[in-house]
Amino acid sequence: HLIEYCLIEVRNTNTTRIMLLLYLSALILFISPLAAQDEVTTPSNEKESSGACTLIVCEPGERGLPGRDGIDGKQGPKGEKGDPGPRGLGFPRKPGPIEPCGENGSLGDPGPKGEPGEKGDPLPAILSAEQIHMYVYFIPCVFFLVYLNGQAHGKKIYKTTGTEHSFDEAVDICNKAGAIVASPKSKAENQAIQDILSRYKKSAFLGMTDRKTEGKFVYQTGEPLVYSNWKSGEPNNKGGGENCIEMVPSGKWNDMPCEESFLTICEFEV
């Protein structure tokens, strides 16, 4: 039967396959007598087991239809985590252009009022050396300068040098001290200046003149007078050239030449 199968295959194949089949046929013919000899010496029980037909395939058969898919097996355990790979070489990003600042926004509503702060520490019971110096030396000095040779009224302080000068000299002295020559603008201010004159028993220059226009006395700022206390018949410009004002100890005014020398009283505003 094996030889018949091989002959059938010879008809259905090419020359190369024919040569191969001829070689296999010769091999089968050579092996057959040896198989018959072994059959004589083999016991009956072994003969039955060896009687199975041995199939020798002369050439591979044609590919058959695909078989059914097998059942998936159970998923195996998860493997260990592998080592990390080499780190790539990144390229730094180029910074983008700087945009101009936008316009300022509108102010928001005011916030709520904060809570009051803690009460501060009380003043020290013991005065510092500077405070002691101020109370011991400075305050009595101010009292001496203002109330012994000066006078205060409202926001003005009138202070005299105790010396007599011409009007222009008096203007220069007072200006250097940051003041002006005393220029009363009310009865009370006129009285404060009179109190100084009463102590010194001397006359003093006031800060108003009519140098620009005869008979029109004005303050150093150029403003016209808002208060006056002239003697009877004054100003009269007696002899000509009486362009300045003298205040006598009684508080009355009299026009006099600016070159005369009278007590200098400066007016400070605080």
pLDDT tens-place string over residues 95-123 = 667 777 777 777 778 878 888 877 766 65
Residue-range definition of the domain harbouring residue 217: 155-269
Domain annotation covers residue 67: no
CB–CB of 204/198 below 8 Å? Answer: no
pLDDT 10s digits, 169-182: 999 999 999 999 99
What does the alpha-carbon distance between residue 229 and residue 183 come to, in Å, rounded to a whole number? 12
Residue type for position 195 = D
pTM given for the model: 0.48
Report if residue 2 sits inside a domain: no
Residue 141 lies in a domain: no
- Least confident piece of the model among 42-46, 84-88, 158-162, 214-218: 42-46
Q: Is residue 131 part of a domain?
A: no
| Residue 42 counted as domain residue | no
Distance of alpha carbon 55 from alpha carbon 237, whole angstroms: 168
Chain segment 56-99, per-residue pLDDT in tens: 444 554 555 555 555 555 676 777 777 776 665 555 566 667 77
Q: What length does the chain have?
A: 270
Please report whether residue 258 resides in a domain.
yes
Q: Which residues contact 6 (CB under 8 A, 6 or more apart)?
A: 21, 24, 25, 28, 58
Any domain includes 262: yes
Query: Which DSSP category does 134 fall into?
Result: I
Q: Does any domain span residue 204?
A: yes
3-class DSSP state of 26: helix
Domain CATH for 233: 3.10.100.10
C-alpha 225/C-alpha 219 separation (Å) is: 7
Number of domains in the chain: 1
